[in-house]
Amino acid sequence: MSFVTDSFTDADNTLLSAHTGELGATWTKKWYSSFNAKIISNQLRSAYLNCTWYASGTPASAEYDVEAKYVSGLIGPNDFIGPAGRMSTTADTFYTAGAAYTGGYKLLKCVAESFTLLGSYGTSAGNTVVKLEIRDAAKKLYVDGVERVSSSDNAITAAGKAGFYNYDQYNSGLLIDNFSASDPSGGATYAPPPPRPALRFAHMMVR
């Protein structure tokens, strides 16, 4: 069952802090950039430098999946953006998996602002869906539905929140789309908003 979905559909330049997604998606910035992420062309554009945001939705347990589609923008050697989970709302502590300019895709943990690289899948990061699967037994990085890295690390155990982390080194604007977080029982991933109903024109009698 999804507890967060966000297609980032909104007016251009809407700040993420002022945006509300489809489900459980009002956003709070935790760390640390003074800049704001915003909506551009119905996609999420990262804030400059280090930034974490978490969504309002609450997971049923500490085991859940978080995913987002990486679109574009990686140009700086340290650029990274990806979904995050077990995000503390009081400390800079979380797991994240995402697309990186250097090293392809990475799985990391951050504990009290200290980053540890848990693993990497080496290929150039492209327009792909990245999923972070969080279980006590393993933290896994999926790229387009295929498991690429699995780590036994379980240093962060509290459920926390789901969200994303970015490092936008040159303010190039890292873009992601179709964010979702779901509890494992439902197995649901991103569900797009329902299509608008078709317009109907009444027949007109021409006399």
Partner 1 sequence: MAKRFYISPIAGDGSFENPYRPVLHDTMEQEDGGVWEIASDANGRPIIPYALCLVNAVNHGKFGGLANVDGLPEITLDSTLSVLTNPQRNVLLNFLSKRGIDTSGLNVNSTFREVIERVGKALNSNFNSLNFDVSA
Smallest separation, CB 132 to partner 1 (Å): 14
Nearer to partner 1, 22 or 79 (CB): 79
- Give 22 or 133: the residue with its C-beta nearer to partner 1: 133
Separation of CA 92 from chain center: 16
Contact status, residue 180 vs residue 190, Cβ threshold 8 Å? yes
CB 87 within 8 A of CB 52: yes
Q: Which is nearer to partner 1, 106 or 161 (by Cβ)?
A: 106
CB 198 to partner 1: min, Å:
43
CA atoms of 164 and 55, how far apart (whole Å):
9
Closest listed residue to residue 63, CA positions, set 156, 137, 135: 135
Could you list the residues that contact partner 1 (CB under 8 A)?
Answer: 50, 78, 80, 93, 103-104, 107-124, 136-138, 146-155, 167
Distance CA 83, CA 161 (A): 11
Q: Smallest gap, in angstroms, from Cβ of residue 68 to partner 1?
A: 18
Q: Report the nearest approach of partner 1 to the CB of residue 123 (Å).
A: 6
Q: Which residue, 40 or 49, has its beta carbon nearer to partner 1?
A: 49
Give the shortest CB-44-to-partner 1 separation in angstroms: 19
Instruction: Report the residue number, 7 or 50, with the smaller CB distance to partner 1.
Output: 50
Report the 10 Å Cβ neighbour count for 52.
24
Who's near 157: CB < 8 A, 6+ residues apart?
62, 86, 136
Q: Closest approach of Cβ 20 to partner 1, in Å? A: 29
Task: Name which of 68 and 118 has its Cβ closer to partner 1.
Answer: 118
Contact 93, 111 (CB under 8 A): yes
Residues 138, 149: Cα–Cα separation, whole Å: 10
